[in-house]
Amino acid sequence: MKRLPLIAALTLAGITSATHAADLIDAWQAALARDPEIAAARALHEQATFRQEQAKALWAHMVSAGGAVGIGGADSRTKGAEAMDQSDVTFKTNVNAGALTRASIGAQKAWISPEREAQSKQLELSAQIVQTQWQQAQQALIMRTAQRYFDVVGAEQTLSVLQRQQKAMQQAAAEISKRQSVGDASVMDVQEANARVSEIRAQVLTHENNLANKKVAYRQLTGQEPTQLLPIGNINLTPPNLADANTWVQRAKQQSPSLQMMGLQQAIQGQEAKRIKAGNAMTVNWVAQAQMDRLSGQGMYGSASNQTAQYMVGIQLNAPLSTGGMVESREREALKQVEKLRYDQEAVEQQIEQQVRDAWQSLSTAQARLQALSQSEQASKARLTSTRQAHRTGARTTNELLGAEHDAAQAELALVQLRIQTAMEQLRLSAASGELGEAQLRQVNALLK
């Protein structure tokens, strides 16, 4: 018996979950957990730490050890030696074939190396690029989620308006057919009505297919069925205290992930030019080495063995004398690439400025346009009501009635589309200026009712 309350609670929870109206935040959180593009960007983002570690490792101690065994030989002669109080002594040793063993260990640390310095900065800059790419991927997911969410909402509202228009036209066509049967309407009126009914039926079928496709795209992104998505409410959609266009443009130039990435790519290419130039630079390394060789076997003078040990601690200098002009040529080529990237960045900066100004202009006038379309919708509905009444008395033609039905539906659809466009423009403006994040998404989510 104790299981009954639990079952009831689970059933109620299931019903509550099934009837929960989804919003933008729900969709975004679901997409964040399953979208393959953001998963790939997250994996790339985690590489930043490794690149920073590699940059530090370039200046760390490098230690190596080695050993060898095999068959070897040796022939040595030493003159002018002194032994047993005798001077000018000559020593000869010879091993034709014998057992050879060798062991060595060495350590090295870069001290002065322009090439390693350039490589280290390249790795650090590439880690910053990865961070910027992650920010870009997050913003792209927000835009993609919002677009697919509003695609479904817009398609549902459009289909709903067209279905109501279809029902009204079917009723009008049926009424006109009755009136024609008693001689109160012409055959042309009936034909006109039937043609309009067929036309709206084709539009409804087209938008049903469109809605099905939009739902599939939403489900692929979020893994959820797009049921009961909240539409945009009839409220003020313009953000409060909207800054002027020049302020938004300045923000975009300073914060845009695209511009930041291009600046980092330019810096990396500049370091590449330095790395190439370092081919002509002197390098200095701290070094420590030790090696021991042991050889024993038979030679010209009988059984012999030889053991040598060498070691050193100090600095090692390397200074290239000539590269035949190869390094200079490659450096000039790399510097030209830096120049190209600078011009590319200027071009992208102009594009982003235009995008920001377009979004700002659309957003700043959105409320006035929404009010105008709302008034147009109300006027269209009022005109439709009066046209219906006048048509019943014969004061308006069938074509005028059907035209009024069409105009009222189009006015409602235009208002729906502008609301969605205004919400998306808020996100586009934030994205272009590099400020798009969860906070901005929640601001747009607050417009849903």
Residue-wise pLDDT tens digits, 100-132: 899 999 999 999 999 999 999 999 999 999 999
- CA-wise closest residue to 363 among 245, 254, 235: 245
pLDDT of res. 21: 66
Work out the angle between the directed axes of helices 47-57 and 36-45 (0-180°, nearest 10): 20
CA trace torsion 278, 284, 286, 292 (10° rounding): 100
The mean of the pLDDT values for the chain is 87
pLDDT of res. 339: 95
pLDDT tens per residue, range 155-200: 999 999 999 989 988 888 888 888 888 877 788 888 888 898 999 9
DSSP string, 266-324: HHHHHHHHHHHHGGGS-EEEEEEEEEEEEEEEEETTEEEEEEEEEEEEEEEEE-----T
**Lowest mean pLDDT: which of 71-80, 322-331, 383-392?**
71-80
* Residue 353 pLDDT > 80: yes
* Residue 229 pLDDT > 90: yes
pLDDT of res. 379: 94
pLDDT of res. 376: 93
Q: What is the mean pLDDT of residues 228-232?
A: 91
- For residue 104, the SS3 value is strand
**Confidence tier at 301 by pLDDT (50, 70, 90):** confident
**Lowest mean pLDDT: which of 38-42, 82-86, 128-132, 403-407?**
82-86
**Spacing of C-alpha 301 from chain mean position:** 77
Q: How many helices (H) and strands (E) does the chain have?
A: 12, 4
pLDDT of res. 15: 40
pLDDT of res. 6: 38
Determine the Cα–Cα distance for residues 343 and 170; give it in Å rounded to an integer.
61
* More confident site: 65 or 11: 65
**Lowest mean pLDDT: which of 89-98, 219-228, 243-252?**
89-98
Determine the Cα–Cα distance for residues 394 and 255; give it in Å rounded to an integer.
64
pLDDT of res. 140: 94
pLDDT of res. 11: 40
pLDDT of res. 2: 42
Determine the Cα–Cα distance for residues 164 and 148; give it in Å rounded to an integer.
24
Q: What is the mean pLDDT of residues 215-229?
A: 93
For residue 42, how many C-alpha atoms fall within 13 Å in the half-sphere facing its CB? Answer: 9
pLDDT of res. 259: 94
Q: What is the mean pLDDT of residues 242-267?
A: 93
Q: What is the mean pLDDT of residues 256-263?
A: 93
pLDDT of res. 17: 40
Task: Specify whether the CB–CB gap between 207 and 423 falls below 8 A.
Answer: no
Of the ranges 80-84, 165-169, 209-213, the best mean pLDDT one: 209-213
pLDDT of res. 160: 94
pLDDT of res. 304: 78
pLDDT of res. 20: 55
pLDDT tens per residue, range 4-29: 443 344 344 344 344 456 899 999 99
pLDDT of res. 425: 92
* Residue 282 pLDDT > 50: yes
- CA-wise closest residue to 277 among 329, 215, 336: 329
